[in-house]
Each structure stands twice: as C-alpha cells, then as structure tokens.
Chains A and B, each alone.
Chain A
Amino acid sequence: EDKVVQSPLSLVVHEGDTVTLNCSYEVTNFRSLLWYKQEKKAPTFLFMLTSSGIEKKSGRLSSILDKKELFSILNITATQTGDSAVYLCAVASVRGKLIFGQGTTLQVKP
C-alpha cells in the first residue's frame, strides 16, 4: 500500500529558529513530490520536486528530494510567526493522484 509519512507531527519553535520537516514515502509509480502549506483554508503550493539532489528555494524556504532513500526535507530558516501552519507533503502517482502525509503542525512563537 502506498504511504507517505511526515515527521515530526508537530513542532514548536521561536521566531528566528531554523526548522527541518521530514517526509518519507513508499509509493509505486512515483512521479513527483509536492509540499504545501495549509493555514485555515485549503493548501497553498510551495514546491514540486521531481529530480533527486536538486534544491528548490523560495525565500526562506528550501526543499530537496532523495529518490534513492525515498525522502524529502523542507527547511525554513529565520522562522516568523506567519510560518505557523500545517505543512503537507504529497507524492504524485499515476494520473496525477496525490497521496498525502499526515502533515506537520508548526507553531512559531514570538
């Protein structure tokens, strides 16, 4: 059975800290791995990773994929209270179907 596992499930840090969120997967017919941020409503797209070892970066966020070890990490540097959210990792399989992990709830305290 396909599965995506995220860790930790929740995390509390202070502003300015750096955090690393983990996502491991066992998915047949892997196509891509995607990261989303979910606040009160629907998820907003962060990154899509298809190739191993190539870092994607957007401001203070960055992510990388290791297709040999079947995992990805999402890094957030110099965290701000606005980074507080649930971060979802999903793997795209055949026909674009997304398999989601449980999510990591990040709380950034002032």
Chain B
Amino acid sequence: GAVVSQHPSWVICKSGTSVKIECRSLDFQATTMFWYRQFPKQSLMLMATSNEGSKATYEQGVEKDKFLINHASLTLSTLTVTSAHPEDSSFYICSARTSAQSYEQYFGPGTRLTVT
C-alpha cells in the first residue's frame, strides 16, 4: 500500500528558532501533498496544498511567511516553521495524494512540535 513517512516524529525547539519537517512518499510519486495541523482532541485542519514544482496554496488564515512549504520533488515536501513560538506547538501531519485521478490520500505518522 501507499506509505508516507515524516521526519522527525517529534521535536522540541526554543522560541525564535526554525524547524523543518520532511514528508516523503516512499513507494509512489505524489504530485500533490497536503499539510495539516491538529490540536488535542480536535480534527485535522488543512494548512496548505503543496504541488511539485510550484508554489504552495495556503488556506485562509495560515501565514505563508511563517510556514514555508517546499515541494522540490515528486516524493518530498518540507514544512519549515520559522521563528517558532509556543503557540505553534502542535501535531503536524502531511498527506499525499496517490494520483491526480484519485482522491485517496495517505497520511504520514505526524510530527509533534513543542516550542519552549
């Protein structure tokens, strides 16, 4: 089946620093990847849609200069949280669409970010 990995699985950083999270599709090429954020006991909130070779599309209210997304290849998308603050602490999850003809999305295992 379709496998998506994320790295790191958890990270602790200090306020003001930047953190990069990687999302990889391991056994398929993903032209589109998605980044979500999830707060405790809440559902997933889409942050942005990442298309290989083009700029990401951000959802309303998501700061594109704070959450930098790069989709440099068909198997890798990265999310960089810049100048992190404690309120950025959250569970970040990526997903990948298996093809342009299918709406199936497979999720990575998630990254727990804690900003101190």
Please say whether chains A and B are actual partners in one complex: yes
Q: Which residues of A contact B (CB under 8 A)?
A: 31-32, 34, 36, 41-45, 48, 50, 88, 92, 95-103
The B interface, classified by DSSP as helix, strand, loop or mixed, is strand
A-B contact count, CB below 8 Å?
Answer: 55
Shortest Cβ distance from residue A89 to the other chain B in the assembled complex, whole angstroms:
10
In the complex the two chains form, is B43's CB within 8 Å of A96's CB? no
Contact partners of B107 in chain A: CB under 8 A: 36, 42-45
Within B74-102, the residues touching A (CB, 8 Å) are 93, 95, 97, 102
Q: Does B67 contact A (CB under 8 A)?
A: no
Within B15-45, the residues touching A (CB, 8 Å) are 32, 34, 42-45
Contact partners of A32 in chain B: CB under 8 A: 103
In the complex the two chains form, is A45's CB within 8 Å of B104's CB? yes
How many B residues are at the interface, by size bracket?
Answer: 20 to 34
Contact partners of A103 in chain B: CB under 8 A: 43
In the complex the two chains form, is A100's CB within 8 Å of B43's CB? yes
Write the chain B residue with the least CB distance to A98. Answer: B105
